[in-house]
Structure 1
Amino acid sequence: MSQSIEEHTGARIARIRKQRGLTQQGLAMRSHVSKSLLSKVECGQKPASPALVAACARALGVSTSDLLGQPYAEELRRDRMDALIQPIREGMENWDIALDWETAPRPAALIRSDVRRALVRRRQAQYTDMVRDLPALIEESVHAVHTSTGEEQRLTYECLAGTFRCVFTVAWNFGYIDLATVALDRLAWTAPRADDPGLAAMHAYLRAQTTMSSGRYDLGIRVIDRALRDLDGQDARRPEGLEAMRGVMQLRAAVIAGRMKDRGLADARMAEARALARTTGELPDFGVTWGPTNVGVHAVAIASEMDDCERAIELAEDVHIPRGWTRSRAGHHWMDLGRSHAWTGDPEQALDCLHRARRIAPQQTRYHPTVRETVLALKRRERARSDSLARYAEWVGI
């Protein structure tokens, strides 16, 4: 069953607010947002920004998933994605116990090749193929760490860390926050055994992402800063990879600052990232996308986070995404820009951006809360029926 136009995040905020016995003014004060904005979000006139959702969730004592309506169970069942998640849950049950497997694992180099392919699919938002392969890769990697020694064992721990990175992404994007938390814990256990500081930095990068969902921005900044200090003076097998991790962690700190509405801190972190990007150029490693293009994309996202949507649209004019660039990041860029156009009252441009996101990264786009909120806002504000918007809404599940 498709989601009703009345089932938007603002309506959920209003329902839970009333259950808590709070007025709009009371929730606005508790969540440190303006009553005017909260009122527009609750009645569906404005899309709910991630920052507002996190602030209201914390004030109401619920999770952001509760307010977003995730996971989108009907749509996941329709696409049979829910059936692919369950084998991953089962596979994640064992990460540290040696079992009696009937066959020997492949050499670490062969497992590593498949894990790298999964990481590429993660960056390209090709989730179905990635998810199908993950349970077997997890099982084989666990088997390998218990039947190898020395450098071979270290490499298999690295493989295992890569699988947990992929699990985190798909679980987080589809709204299975409990599974994402398990994957993050498994990565924390695996990274030191892989003996690569870049993987420890990756754990911090993902942990900071979870703090944004809970509204613990102060903690997120501290997690990033500690990880950056830990990278200082580190010897690495992939020095360029550590530079990529330094860069994306500065970008994450800038996004957190944007959620905090701290323009000075956001600008300072963006300046650090921009200076590093000029030195490194485009440098994908550790499953992340790093370089000048990603800095430009994040500048747009941060302006959107700060509800400065006119600025986001202006900054987007200078963003030129190269052919073959990471689909997950490119798709996210068009989602952010679509929300900004919807916020400024330009439904045609907003829908055009959402169509671009769909063409680039369809699975990511279909299940992203920002897309749903933008589509719902466009539907509620349309003055004459748009067949294009109606078809898009139906594709999303509205």
Structure 2
Amino acid sequence: MPPSIEEHTGTRIARYRKQRGLLQQGLALRANVSKSLLSKVECGQKPASPGFVAACARALSVSTSDLLGQPYADELRRDRMDELIQPIREGMENWDVRLDWETAPRAVPLIRADVQRALVQRRQAEYTEMARALPGLMDESVHTVHTTSGEEQRQAYTCLAGIFQCTFTLAWKLGCTDLATVALDRLAWTAPRTDEPGWSAMYAVLRAQTTLAYGRYDVGMRVVDGALRDLEGQAARRPAGIEAMRGMLHLRAAVIAGRAKDRDHADARLAEARALAEETGELPDYGVTWGPTNVGVHAVAIASELDEFGRAVELAEDVRIPPGWTRSRAGHHWMDLARAHTWAGHPAAALDCLQRARRVAPQQTRYHPTARETVLALKRRERARSGSLAQYAEWVGI
């Protein structure tokens, strides 16, 4: 019998646990979680935090995507996103071989302008148009790095770095972790060739993100701290961008500490990031959104990581999303806050936050496990049938 589309993460954990022949006590011991919490997560009484999911995935020898039910194949096919992913997979097969083209690729400034457009689409969670552009941009950039030299070649490598960053984000958001891993490897190869230390720092930010999915917080923290050391004393073409990347690394460390339930360390890293943000102000660079607002929304997310949902709601009262702010980050914030409101016992506020996430970043929200898990939790808790909640559930595919 196929799994129900209304399965929540706890249900999947229970199913894999039984397939492995484990009792709840056995899985709790392997995952280093309490049996009481595991029992409540499996029956939907408690949320399966990202850290909890990662711990159970390691203990069960499955991926976090398996426990989250990703990728959402039916929705991808319905939206025809699967048709856009396959050409990207094929394009990623070549990153180091010169192509036998009869015509020369476009001039590097033209390619770079399109890559910059893709990076903007990444920040604004406009994945369809970005996905359509990536395969062609990959081929052009790969060919260019093999047919140019000097500054022109360096800029072509910079184009490739941005392309691989976009590919990682798209694949990670859609639950295609295998493709995300390939994109990350390609970025590791490309970043040093850009001769811009910010791209190596960006690799570290994304690399640390993948460690969260597997509960390797020790590795993630070492990656972050190593990258911070590497930035010390580095000459850079974009000094302000280096400060943005330094701040992003501290934010990544704060998230890792939050997942590890180390509030003191998380608060210390947030303080480092906040101090930097007060110096730089809002400063988007290297395809990221950096500044005081991003530090604020991270503080809300980290409180939720620590299962301090009331505190997350309180912190959110001080967050003001400025007009025109990056939609991907705003969408994440509203989903994080929806989750906090749900488990703090505020269902109406939770649904309102989910609706905000949908309005600001529909593609990201539709495919994000946080949105699905929150909707399922609200459905389990609703006392009277809500037409708005039912419509939202249908929209995300439940």
User: Which band: TM-score by shorter chain?
Assistant: over 0.9
- CA–CA distance in 2 between the matches of 1:262 and 1:304? 13
- 1:240: how far off? 0.3
SS of the residue aligned with 2:307? coil
- CA–CA distance in 2 between the matches of 1:201 and 1:146? 25
CA distance change for structure 1 residues 5 and 178 in 2, over 3 Å: closer, same or farther? closer
- 1:31: how far off? 1.6
Match of 2:269 in 1: 269
- 1:151: how far off? 0.2
- CA–CA distance in 2 between the matches of 1:37 and 1:370? 19
- CA–CA distance in 2 between the matches of 1:200 and 1:5? 40
Write the mapping of 1:1-398 to structure 2, written as runs, cut at 5 A. 4=4, 6-398=6-398
**1:339–1:350: 8 Å Cα contact kept in structure 2?**
yes
- 1:384: how far off? 1.1
TM-score, normalised by the number of residues in structure 1 = 0.98
Where does the alignment leave 5 or more consecutive residues of structure 1 unmatched? none
- CA–CA distance in 2 between the matches of 1:99 and 1:330? 40
- 1:6: how far off? 4.2
The one-letter code sitting in structure 2 at the alignment partner of 1:73 is: A
Q: Compare 169-178 and 42-51 and name the one that shifted more.
A: 42-51
- 1:103: how far off? 1.4
Aligned-residue RMSD, C-alpha: 1.1
The one-letter code sitting in structure 2 at the alignment partner of 1:359 is: R
- CA–CA distance in 2 between the matches of 1:3 and 1:380? 18
- CA–CA distance in 2 between the matches of 1:270 and 1:179? 31
Cα displacement string for residues 115-165 of structure 1 (whole angstroms, at most 9, x for unaligned residues): 000000000000001000000000100111111110000000000111000
- 1:388: how far off? 0.3
Query: Matched residues, percent identical?
Result: 78
Runs of 4+ in 1 over 6 A off after TM superposition: none
- CA–CA distance in 2 between the matches of 1:45 and 1:396? 22
Where does the alignment leave 5 or more consecutive residues of structure 2 unmatched? none
SS of the residue aligned with 1:56? helix
SS of the residue aligned with 2:233? coil
Counting matched residue pairs gives 397
TM-score, normalised by the number of residues in structure 2 = 0.98
- CA–CA distance in 2 between the matches of 1:199 and 1:6? 40
The one-letter code sitting in structure 1 at the alignment partner of 2:368 is: H
- CA–CA distance in 1 between the matches of 2:46 and 2:106? 53
Cα displacement string for residues 63-94 of structure 1 (whole angstroms, at most 9, x for unaligned residues): 10111111000000000000000000011110
- 1:304: how far off? 0.3
SS of the residue aligned with 1:96? coil
Q: Compare 122-131 and 2-11 and name the one that shifted more.
A: 2-11
The one-letter code sitting in structure 1 at the alignment partner of 2:369 is: P
SS of the residue aligned with 2:330? helix
- 1:21: how far off? 2.0
SS of the residue aligned with 2:147? coil
- CA–CA distance in 2 between the matches of 1:23 and 1:172? 32
**1:145–1:156: 8 Å Cα contact kept in structure 2?**
yes
- CA–CA distance in 2 between the matches of 1:345 and 1:291? 31
Cα displacement string for residues 262-316 of structure 1 (whole angstroms, at most 9, x for unaligned residues): 0111011011101111111111100011110000000000000000000000000
- 1:28: how far off? 2.0
Q: Compare 292-301 and 35-44 and name the one that shifted more.
A: 35-44
Cα displacement string for residues 229-263 of structure 1 (whole angstroms, at most 9, x for unaligned residues): 00000000000000000001100000000000001
SS of the residue aligned with 1:146? helix
Cα displacement string for residues 38-80 of structure 1 (whole angstroms, at most 9, x for unaligned residues): 2222112333211111111011111101111110000000000
- CA–CA distance in 2 between the matches of 1:221 and 1:397? 35
- CA–CA distance in 2 between the matches of 1:241 and 1:6? 43
CA distance change for structure 1 residues 6 and 392 in 2, over 3 Å: closer, same or farther? closer
CA distance change for structure 1 residues 3 and 128 in 2, over 3 Å: closer, same or farther? farther
The one-letter code sitting in structure 1 at the alignment partner of 2:307 is: D
**1:270–1:295: 8 Å Cα contact kept in structure 2?**
yes
- CA–CA distance in 2 between the matches of 1:329 and 1:381? 28
